[in-house]
Every structure is written in structure tokens, then in C-alpha cells.
Amino acid sequence: MTSDSLAFQMESMGQRAKRAARTLAAASPAAKSQALRALASLLRDRQADILSANAEDVKAAQAAHMDAPRLDRLTLTPRIIEDMAAACLHVAAMPDEVGVVEEQWQRPNGLMVGKMRIPLGVIAMIFESRPNVTIDAAILCLKAGDAVILRGGSEAIRSNLALAGLLHEALESAGLPVDAVQVVETTDRAAVSLLCKLDKYVDVMIPRGGESLVRAVCEAATMPVLKHYMGVCHLYVDEGADLGMALRLAHNGKVQRPGVCNALECLLIHQKEAEAFLPLLAARLGGDGVTFRACPRSLPLLKTSPSPVVPQQPDDLGQEFHDLILAVRVVDSLDEALDHIARYGSNHTEAICTNNHANAMRFLREADASLTAVNASTRFNDGGQLGLGAEIGICTSKLHSYGAMGVRELTTTKFVALGTGQIRD
């Protein structure tokens, strides 16, 4: 495809999305729910077709020597497809946000002023590896009344196109415009640059992937960007914490799915608990293959690990490993833990294990992250786990949303005024 024809294609997608967004903003809640229920049925009925397309993507990725964490994110299973279908039904059953007047007050002249929730308009999303994001993003945008243009990674092109076909069938069955959800069909990287310049049609850009992808999109985009940035997540084990609980939280955060953005990357341990806790950590996580990057104070206490324990290097802190690797640091106080998080955290997820209520409340207030958790795994920073049904991403910037982005986060508000003929003096 020539550069001119690709530019024309992307411009056309933007135009069609803008038209579809206007129709979708006025669509009834019943029509949107009908499309979501139809999609759930199609995902279940066409599971074999989806898995077949995905298997081709996985085979090509293996031949290209894709690393294990990315391969894990690329691979679809019957359980993942069932989760996608369940998310469709969950989102369909949620209250419709569009058109709701959330606040209203009367001015001295009798004018009634309110704030009405409305769609953002057209959203473009650029993401890597995970084809289930195609469904998550589409169903949330649909419920929020937004049109969406999706550009997945080239490694998932067959999977994404198979899912796009089902999305179009579902929209058509409910009488909604198929252009409300468009998947970029080319793997040409130039499409990303062109998409980033369509501010005439696209209201918001959402990049979701590695650090280099997010940085490139932020630099190129001419429209506002909601960043799904790095996930450098910490767990701080406080003085007097329940060490059995701390061990469960550390294990779940690091071992369950090490390649995802809410996986645990660094454990901070109060110096008064280090001697008792770190040998337990070495046995449990080391037994599951976790390699430790240990600070000088933690190194001798982790030596019993059946997995490698290596001296910590400066760049091990603030690192998103995407692997069975955990940085460990002993700190003297909650203050030092919060200082560490402020320096090395990525505003994604921070957790504390503590029995001290004052420390818990202070951590919630002062640890700057889109989710701060007390006595819970970092793995809970996920739209589905937080009750949003699904998520389009976890925004690590504070405008316009901070954290997991569900239906409500894909809308905004406008002022409305109801008068009886008032004029301004």
C-alpha cells in the first residue's frame, strides 16, 4: 500500500468514526445492550474460529521467537473467551451513563444549572499483543456511546480481525452503525503515525503497551493522550505485619502472572521484620523460580532460596521486569518506603501489608498511584476485579481519569441550563 492510499484509508476511518459517534451518542440503552448480548453469544458460538485465528498468530510469534510474557498475553484460551463473553453481559447490565444529569442547582434568577454525562466522542486505541483488549475496549466504548478505532499489534492481526467481524455482526443486529468499532486492518507501522494526526476526528488517544510505544504515541499525537504507562508496583511489609499474609500477597503479586502491568516488581520490608520474613520469601517464591535482585541488607537473608539471588544494581529499582524477577529492599521506616515509592514508582499500583491503622491510612493518602491497597495484592488493579466489568486501560496520568478506565471513565460531563426566559443583566 502506498503512503497516499494509507493516508486516505486512515482519513476515511476517522470520518466514518465521527459520523458513527454522533449516531451512537443518541442510541438507546436498549440497543446498546442488545448489541452487547449478541456479541456474548457470538463469542461463545464462534469460539473455534477465534481460537483457530489466534493459533495462527501464536505460531507466527513463536517462529519469530517472541518472549514468553508477550506470548502469554497473545494467547487466547476457551477460558479467556468465556471471560470476554461474561464481560459483555456484565457491561450490558450496567446502568447507562449517557444523558444522566448528575448535579443540579438553582441560581438566584431561577435558572436551573446541571451537569450531564456525555460520551467523549471518538477514541483511538493503540495496543500490543493482547487480542482480548479488542473486545474489552469495544464493549466499554459502545456502552459509553463512543466510537472507537483500534490498532492492535501486528502479532495479533488475525485474532483482531476475527473479533472485529463478530463486533460488526453484533452492532448490525442491534441496528447500530458498524463503523462505531473499526479495527485497522494493515500492519504497516505508518498507520500509527497517521492515526496520531487525526485530531480533526479523534477526540482521545489511548496507548497501551510497552514504554517505547507509549512514549512514541505521546510524542506523535496531536490530540489528548490518556497514558497506560509502566507498571512498577511495590508491596511494603510494615513493622508488625502479618507475615503469613505478606507472603501470600507477595506470591500472588509476583508469581500468578509475572508479565502483566499489575504484577509485583519490588518488595520493601521493614528492617524489624526482615530477618523473620525474607527466608520465608526465599523458600516460597524461590521455589517457584523467582530470581531475587537483593539489596546488601536483604542479600544474606535470601541466600537459602533455591533460585538465584544476585546483588541489586541501581537499574533494578524502578524496573518493570515482566518476568519471575523481584527486587527486594530493606527499609528502616514507612517514611523510607514512601520515599522509595515516590522515586521509583510509576503511579500504577502500590500496596502495604500492615496491622497499623494509622500507617494504612497514611499509605493510602501519600503513596501516589492510580490504586493504593491495604492488605491486598497489586493484582487487583484491573477493571474486572474492581467491578467495572472490563477496562480499556489503567491511566497513570491524572487527566482526565486516574486508574482503571471503565464505562464511566469513557464519558465526560457538560453543563446544561434550564430556564424560563431568563436573560443576563
Which pLDDT tens digit goes with each residue over 123-144? 999 998 789 999 999 999 999 9
Q: Which three cell numbers stand for residue 90?
A: 456484565
Q: Report pLDDT digits (tens) over 325-348.
A: 999 999 999 999 999 999 999 999
Contact (CB, 8 A) for 153 and 128? yes
Q: Report pLDDT digits (tens) over 3-33.
A: 789 999 999 999 999 999 999 999 999 999 9
Instruction: Give the SS3 label for residue 217.
Output: helix
Provide the sign of the torsion angle of the four alpha carbons 229, 370, 387, 257, taken in this order. positive
**Residue 371 β-bridge partners:** 349
Contact (CB, 8 A) for 376 and 354? no
CA distances from 423 to 107, 111, 112, 113, 288 (A): 13, 10, 13, 14, 72
Q: Which three cell numbers stand for residue 418?
A: 434550564
For 42-63, give one letter per residue: b (16+ CB within 10 A) or e.
bbbebbeebbebbeebbebbee
Mean pLDDT of 261-270: 97
Confidence of residue 35 (pLDDT cuts 50, 70, 90): very high
Nearest 5°: the CA angle 51, 149, 130 is 35
pLDDT at 1: 67
Residue intervals in the chain for CATH 3.40.605.10: 3-228
User: Yes or no: is domain 3-228 CATH 3.40.605.10?
Assistant: yes
* Mean pLDDT score across all residues of the chain: 95
pTM for this predicted structure? 0.89
Q: Which of 65-79, 154-168, 285-299 has the lowest mean pLDDT?
A: 65-79
pLDDT at 23: 97
Contact (CB, 8 A) for 383 and 405? yes
Q: Which of 231, 232, 238 is nearest to 352 (CA)?
A: 238
Residue intervals in the chain for CATH 3.40.309.10: 233-380
Contact (CB, 8 A) for 138 and 148? yes
Q: Report pLDDT digits (tens) over 358-409.
A: 999 999 999 999 999 999 999 999 988 998 888 898 999 888 889 999 999 9
Q: Following DSSP, what letter does each residue of 251-286 receive, concatenated?
A: HHHHHS-TTSTTSEEEEEEEHHHHHHHHHHHHHHHH
Q: Which of 40, 22, 393, 363 is nearest to 180 (CA)?
A: 22
pLDDT at 110: 97
**Residue 180 β-bridge partners:** none
Q: Which of 335, 372, 367, 374 is nearest to 352 (CA)?
A: 374
pLDDT at 300: 97
Mean pLDDT of 215-228: 92
Burial tier of 228 (Cβ tally within 10 Å: 0-12, 13-18, 19+): buried
Q: Report pLDDT digits (tens) over 89-101.
A: 999 999 999 999 9
Superfamily for 233-380?
Aldehyde Dehydrogenase; Chain A, domain 2 (3.40.309.10)
In this structure, the chain runs to a length of: 425
